[in-house]
Structure 1
Amino acid sequence: MNKRNRIIYVLLLIILVSSCKHKEEEYHSITDKIEAKSKNYHGVSVSSEDFFDDIKMIKISEGDHTFLIPERKSKIKSYACTECHTKPLNKLQSKDFKKAHWDIVLNHADKKTMSCTTCHNEKNMDELKSLTGLKIDFNKSYNLCSQCHSKQFKDWKGGAHGKKIGGWAPPRASMTCVNCHNPHKPHFESRWPARFNTQKIKERK
């Protein structure tokens, strides 16, 4: 190594050494900063359980995600269904029986695609059923929705879709599909925001 190269080498070494000097609150990378700042982190004191009130929760696990959801069956006014559905559905559908559920209008998919028994188990009305005939508990009706709405289901179980109970405070508690959407008519009606420019009201008339 000639004299010139040695000088360049020494200068580079000095630059490298001097560049590593930093003040107490400066960091080499964002990772170093996060690690340094989180050394004394011991979690949060607030809990989502403070917001449950009288909501009965059940724990579920979906893939790598475990969290709480509201229990459903006790909130269904007409459950258990077998209190009235004492026979298979095809035996109850006759002129001798008064039509039930007259107040429910199915507006979920095309009539050629979906009927009541697409989701409800006609052999045991206390259960739902998958498209392949597997039993689905009413408390886990999201498994029914996930068959067609797979993208929303993936986002929901990961925490990106749906409303949280108690925000992001642990333990994680999330509303399910039917807590926000009417399963027979899931589409939200268009509506104006609660607050908007009054001048726009005049312009829309």
Structure 2
Amino acid sequence: MNKWIYGFVFLMLFFSCKHGEGEYHGVVEKIEAESKNYHGVTVSSEQYHDGIDMIKISEGGHEFLIPERKGQIKMYACTECHNKPLSKMQTEGEQKAHWDIKLVHANENTMSCVTCHNPDNMDQLKSLTHKEIDFNKSYNVCNQCHTKQFEDWKGGAHGKKIGGWAPPRASMTCVNCHNPHKPHFESKWPARFNTQTVKERE
């Protein structure tokens, strides 16, 4: 009798495990079977980087590309004009060279031009501890105060991507989106707004 029971159980197990191609008992089995021939990602965002000079950076264990900055600054290198100390270049009563730049970033008691710009070497920015910072890595000036945004940016959560999420990762830096002298975005109406609400406000 036991032989019949064992035989029946064996036949049930044998035939129950038979399945057609592409059929699996569970999700794990399917993943294991279908990932045998996986050789990495084939999608790339490089085609969207054409015409943009990029530099590779490494921040907090993350390696990615950012747009080269110095080539985008119209009046760089600064030392083409700033060829002597700033104090000797300032003349009373004359219009300043950067008259069109108004600093609307922080309270004037907290911040001035030389908070970020290095008066001893105008081709470099500077940290709050007077360490030189290359213009291409200007995000290191920003991260001294905006640490939360910087941590998010390093990980890819803050800031705009260039070419989407496909590798190689390329991200805009702070100054690609924010004007460093006036970083706050102006308030805007949505592209389509509620006309009824507008009528009520009139």
TM over 0.5: yes
SS of residue in 1 equivalent to 2:164: coil
Aligned in 2, Cα 1:167/1:28: closer, same or farther, shift over 3 Å?
closer
CA gap 1:33/1:103 in 2 versus in 1, 3 angstroms = farther
Structure 1 vs Structure 2: percent identity of aligned residues? 73
**Cα distance in structure 2, aligned partners of 1:64 and 1:35:** 30
* Displacement of 1:202: 2.5
Q: State the 1:25 CA deviation.
A: 2.9
Q: Secondary structure at the match of 1:143?
A: helix
Q: Which amino acid aligns with 2:67?
A: P
Task: Identify which of 110, 116, 119 aligns with 2:116.
Answer: 119
Give the number of equivalent residue pairs.
Answer: 185
Cα distance in structure 2, aligned partners of 1:197 and 1:37? 49
What SS does structure 2 have at the residue aligned with 1:118? helix
SS of the aligned residue for 1:148 comes to coil
Where 2:153 maps in the other structure, the secondary structure is helix
Partner residue, 1:47: 44
Find the counterpart in structure 1 of residue 201 from structure 2: 204
2:71 aligns with 74
Residue pairs, 1:25-64, within 5 angstroms: 25-27=24-26, 34-64=31-61
- State the shift of 1:108 in Å: 0.5
Unpaired stretches in structure 2, ≥5 consecutive residues: 1-12
Amino acid at match of 1:39: K
What is the 5 A alignment of 1:99-118?
99-118=96-115
| TM-align CA RMSD | 2.3
Q: Which moved more, 1:191-200 or 1:162-171?
A: 191-200
Q: Which TM-score applies when normalising by structure 2? A: 0.82
Distance change in 2, residues 1:126/1:26 (3 Å): same
Counterparts of 1:1-205 in structure 2 under 5 Å? 24-27=23-26, 34-95=31-92, 98-205=95-202
Change (3 A) 1:169 1:28: closer
